[in-house]
Every structure is written in structure tokens, then in C-alpha cells.
Structure 1
Amino acid sequence: MTHIADDYDSDLDLVFERTVELHPEQIWAAWTQPAHVVHWFTPAPWKTLSCDIDLRPGGVFRTVMCSPEGQQHPHVGCYLEIVENRRLVWTDALGPGYGPAANPFITAYITLEPEGGGTRYHARARHKNSEDMLRHVDMGFERGWGLALDQMVAYMKALKTQ
């Protein structure tokens, strides 16, 4: 099966990959249910205040993040590809219904592959140009996406024990 942007581009793409002790279905739920997203999506000390999801191609993926200083940062995009429990692609280059965005930054590709008793979690952030990609590196891409994934794993494991 061919997916959007299967070819890695070192001038535009940042990649984060790790094997985690969650099943693909748990990670899928964490990514696709707003009640879960708000608990892990933004690396602490940032917070995700709200999330809206319309899980279909062209459907909205909207979050409002809050900095430690209290500044709110809304992000709005839409889904491009949805393969349940395996692949999720969304972008802020387009808004809901594929409307063009004024200031695009990222297209995200989340791929989940069962591995042992867990999942190989592969995330790719594609940027519109190398300047934006380097800005994302400077923002702490790898550390931030790693912290967010750690938060997701802890949150989903805690749900399982309740």
C-alpha cells in the first residue's frame, strides 16, 4: 500500500521513532479521542486545553495549547489519511474540508506497527521548507515529541489499571 509522502526528505522531514509498551489500539485511541489527547499531547509544562476531532479525511483536528506563561496557541488542521490502528496523517496546511491555511507549518504522519507485546511508533513531521524544519529542531522537536509520547504511555497505562 502506498501512503502519502512515503519518501523521506532530509530537507523537510523530522522523524521520531520508538517502541512502546502499548498496543496499537491504545495509541490509536490516544490520538483519536479528544478526551485522551488533552492529557498527553503537549509536553509538560505546556498543557493542551482543548481538542476537537472529526476523524475522517477532511475532518478537523484542532488543539489549543497553553504555554507555562499562560499564552494560548490554537492549531487547526485536517486529516488526510486514516487507517484505523495503523496510520494517521494530518496537516495544518489545510483546514477542515481541505480549505487552504494561511500559515502552514507541519504535516504529521503517525504509523503504528505491532512489535512483540507493544508497538513500533513512527512519527514524521514534514515541513513546507527547510527553514521551518530547522525552526522545529530549534524548538526541541525530538525532546518534545519524546516527552509527549512518554506522557501518552503513562496516561494510557494508568487508564488500563483503573
Structure 2
Amino acid sequence: MTTAFNPELDLILEREVDVSPAELWQAWTTPEHLKQWFCPQPWKTVECEIELKPGGRFYTVMQSPEGQQFPNTGCYLEIIPEQKLSWTNALQPGFRPADTPPQSPGHECAELLMTASITLQATAKGTLYTAHVLHPNAASKQRHEAMGFEAGWSAVLDQLLAAIKQSR
């Protein structure tokens, strides 16, 4: 499944990083690794369940610095080991339609309906890491952008890289 970038509806973060696709894949697909870096600090991911198959459950609970918890449930769409991981919160596990929009008062990001793909392409220096996030309409894309998509997803990628390097 390849979706062309639509600048009116999509956001993208692309960066060449100095770790391997295998290391990135493990960090994205292993709950104990994902919990270390998945949301920008000082927020934490306190729970994670991964059923790594198309239609499988992708579940996280994010915790605010004040201790509020925000569960997020989604569905994996496409899994190509060490190359591509796609999921959405528009569908629940088993490809069941989600109640829309997700309801997590106080957590704007969890209330956004979106589909995301992480692609990993090996390079001479490590990996070309691309996060492509699709939104259902321009207002949703603009809301996500205004909430700090670039800064937030960049911070999370930095945390991901630090966690990988620390575990070596």
C-alpha cells in the first residue's frame, strides 16, 4: 500500500538517521522498547500492546505529567518487516470501524483521526526514516500541524534514537 503525499491532507517527517532499519523496526514493534520513547517527554507511555499483523491491535496509554491517562487503540494495516509499518485509529482491531472521532478529552492528539506509516530505507549512513501521516480533511491536518506535529514527532524520533543507542 503506497499513498501519494497530498500536501492539503498529509504531514511528513523525513530524516536520515545513523541507526539500522532493524534497530528502528525493533523499537517500533516491541512494547517494552516503544514505551521508552513513544511520546514527547515529560509525557510517558505507560502501557503498550502490539499484535503485529494486519488487523492486529496497536494499543498505548499515554500519561500526562499530571498523571492523567489517555488510552489509544488502533489497527495495523500493513507490515513489511524492517521496511514499513502502517496503522490507523480510524479502525479498531480486526478492521472494525472506530467510533469517530476518538474521545480522549484533554488529549488533542488522541482525538485526531489519522492513518500513519513509518517507512525505513537502508542508506550508506543508516536509514532514511519517513513518517507520513494522513488526515481525513484539511482542518484535521491543520489542527495536527498547529499542535506541533513537526516538533513533537521530531522529539519522539530523537528519543527513539537515544533509546536505541543506549541499548547497544
The AA in structure 1 aligned to 2:32 is A
Q: Deviation at 1:113?
A: 0.4
Moved over 4 A (4+): none
- The residue aligned with 1:90 is 87
Is 1:62 the counterpart of 2:56? The answer is no
- 1:115-145 Cα distance to aligned partner (Å, 9 max, x none): 1131000001101111111111111001000
- The residue aligned with 1:31 is 28
1:133-152 → structure 2 map (5 Å cutoff): 133-152=141-160
1:1-162 → structure 2 map (5 Å cutoff): 3-5=1-3, 7-104=4-101, 105-160=113-168
- The residue aligned with 2:110 is none
The separation in 1 between residues aligned to 2:2 and 2:98, in whole angstroms, is 19
Q: Deviation at 1:51?
A: 0.5
Q: Deviation at 1:100?
A: 0.4
The separation in 2 between residues aligned to 1:100 and 1:62, in whole angstroms, is 15
- SS of aligned partner of 1:44: coil
The separation in 2 between residues aligned to 1:47 and 1:135, in whole angstroms, is 22
The separation in 2 between residues aligned to 1:81 and 1:133, in whole angstroms, is 22
5+ unaligned residues in a row in structure 1: which ranges?
none
Q: Alignment identity in percent?
A: 49
5+ unaligned residues in a row in structure 2: which ranges?
102-112
The AA in structure 1 aligned to 2:119 is T
